[in-house]
Amino acid sequence: MISGPPAAGKGTQCERIVEKFGLIHISAGDLLRAEVEAGTAAGKLAAEYMNKGQLVPNKVVVDMVKHRLAQPDVQDQGWLLDGYPRSADQAAAILEEGIHPDVFFLIQVPDEDLIERVVGRRMDPETGQIYHLTFKPPPKDTLKRLIQRSDDTEEKAKARLEVHAGNVASVLDYYQDVLVEIDGSQDIGAVGSAIEDVLDTFQESSSLDEFQRQAEASSA
């Protein structure tokens, strides 16, 4: 799982993790934006909250995420859950299904940096790439088609920051055993290396465990 305030760099880091570790990226925000785009009843309700920077009600979010987690590709390849859970109730809902992460990354960035990151963020609708006008400049030939998320204004970002700050502690209560805090104010590469080091170590130790299990099973 990966968590952090808005524009902490979760999306960018998720791309790197997916590329290196082959997990399926499940972003609650992306799932909700797809519902909004498709004009479904859930999407219409979600849009009212997203436009104010507030959390979408659990009756929309929880089943949507549970449903995605149950799909065969996720079961085969493993998952990287981004932007969920965002409240204690959401954490409890997946724990009931026996879902607990191997690692919970919390990316920390000072509030003042986050607002600057949010307002400069742009997306290329053709490739899905996320850029920042200053920190990760887009190629010049894409500039005209770039779009800004409707909740990436200063006012809405402040509301989203408050929601995050109000909920994060209750979510962390569920994941103290696997919590890894990452300094997200470093550059993208350094944040990525910090995350990859943890996942590499985890992967090595779980394959060692698996090796030992198999060795024990064959000698029994």
Residues that bind ligand AMP (CB under 6 A): 6, 28-29, 32, 49-50, 53-56, 61, 83-84, 86, 90, 151, 160
DSSP readout, 30-62?
Answer: HHHHHHHHHT-HHHHHHHHHHTTTPPPPHHHHH
CB of 95 to ligand AMP, least distance (A): 15
User: Can you tell me which residue has the tokens 């972003």?
Assistant: 27
**What type of residue is 54?**
Q
Of the listed 68, 86, 122, 156, which one is catalytic? 86
Q: Which lies closer to ligand AMP via its Cβ, residue 110 or residue 215?
A: 110
Alpha-carbon span 76 to 104, nearest angstrom: 20
For residue 158, indicate whether it is catalytic.
no
What are the angstrom distances between the C-alpha of 70 and each of 24, 39, 62, 76? 12, 24, 12, 10
Q: Which lies closer to ligand AMP via its Cβ, residue 117 or residue 160?
A: 160
For residue 160, indicate whether it is catalytic.
yes
Q: Which residue is nearest to ligand AMP (CB)?
A: 29
Of 9, 1, 4, 2, nearest in space to 186 by CA:
9
Of the listed 33, 68, 117, 121, which one is catalytic? 121
CB of 18 to ligand AMP, least distance (A): 16
Of the listed 10, 68, 117, 122, which one is catalytic? 10
Of 17, 6, 50, nearest in space to 31 by CA:
50
Q: Which lies closer to ligand AMP via its Cβ, residue 132 or residue 151?
A: 151
Q: Which lies closer to ligand AMP via its Cβ, residue 28 or residue 182?
A: 28
Alpha-carbon span 154 to 24, nearest angstrom: 31
CB of 119 to ligand AMP, least distance (A): 14
For residue 149, indicate whether it is catalytic.
yes
Instruction: Give me the active site residues, please.
Output: 10, 86, 121, 149, 160
